[in-house]
Amino acid sequence: MAAWLMLLAGVSAAGTWLALVYARRHKLIDQPGERRSHSVPTPRGGGIGIAFALLVGCAMAAATGMAGLVSLLGFATGLLLVAGIGWVDDHRPLGPVLRLLVQCLAGLVLAWGLHGAEGRWGWVVLTALSVPVLVNVWNFMDGINGLASSQAVLAAAAVGWLVPPVAYPALALAAATAAFVPFNFPKARIFLGDVGSGTLGYALAALLALAARDASAQKIPDALVLVLPLSAFLIDASLTLGARMLAGEVWWQPHTSHLYQCWVKAGRSHTFVTLVYAAFSVVAVILASYLSGVAPWFAGGGVALWLSIALLAWVRLRRRLVPGKGTERQA
């Protein structure tokens, strides 16, 4: 397995480097602005290397019989849809409705490939819904150096640790994403782009769908605690989105009102904020490991307590960073 993971990391790194060359040649550059958190023009689209690596992983799994062909085809087709619409959007901005429709289609394809043939309709619905949710969460939270990629590495590794039956796909995602990190952290030579953030959100949705199903089949409450490794992003994305909607803002447009962006605007470095979010997620993973396998009521209480603490911390920090504002108004 180690050799295969190294191969996937190598494919990802090579793909990211080629994307960097391509972006510079075709002027695929993110310019600084008041709705962005970077101050230097930076190429985008580097996440296509991660998408290529995951497709190579699918081919390897099919060749060795490590996974069913229908499941692999469903995953690969959905990945091509999400990464493809993201790659197009990186070149020419598309409307939010079209992007969402493609993401929903990818969710349906993935859900059918993983669960449809077995008639697990409850899992079909949950998987289909999770794809557009996590794709957009990762897109919203991809705003500073290393944040989206490091959180994806931690989440994937944690899921593989908590639910051993999905260790290979979890570690494959972690390895492919980790190979991108040096290109983006601590100094960003290239950004993930929509192709990259979409790929990470989609792959995590697929991984969680597999892990939750396997955990439930073992009659343990691991399916419940799997939300903890993603809690940093879920809390920041959902609360910021809710605040912007309540304020009557155009919530789908680019902005800098997430907690991590407010922290950067207040003077903290990208490196500091990314490492704080990583530390938060590491603690969440440790808690998830402790709650894994305990009584469902106890696990549920632990998850609820952790999310409540995270919510209160978000509110307190936001009030300190943006005094007197529920959310930042956008021009």
The pLDDT tens digits for 64-91 are: 888 889 999 999 999 999 999 999 999 9
Q: DSSP states of 29-91 as a string?
A: EEPP-TT-S-SS-EE--TTHHHHHHHHHHHHHHHHHTSS-HHHHHHHHHHHHHHHHHHHHHHH
Instruction: Classify residue 188 by its DSSP letter.
Output: -
The beta strand positions in the chain, using DSSP E, are 29-30, 42-43
The pTM of the whole model exceeds 0.75: yes
Query: Which residues of the chain carry a pLDDT beneath 70?
Result: 33-37, 215-222, 323-331
Return the C-alpha torsion angle 48, 125, 294, 305, nearest 10: 80
Q: What are phi and psi of 189, to 5 degrees?
A: -90, -25
Give the per-residue pLDDT at 264.
93
Q: How many whole angstroms separate alpha carbon 284 and alpha carbon 229?
A: 6
The pLDDT tens digits for 107-125 are: 999 999 998 777 778 889 9
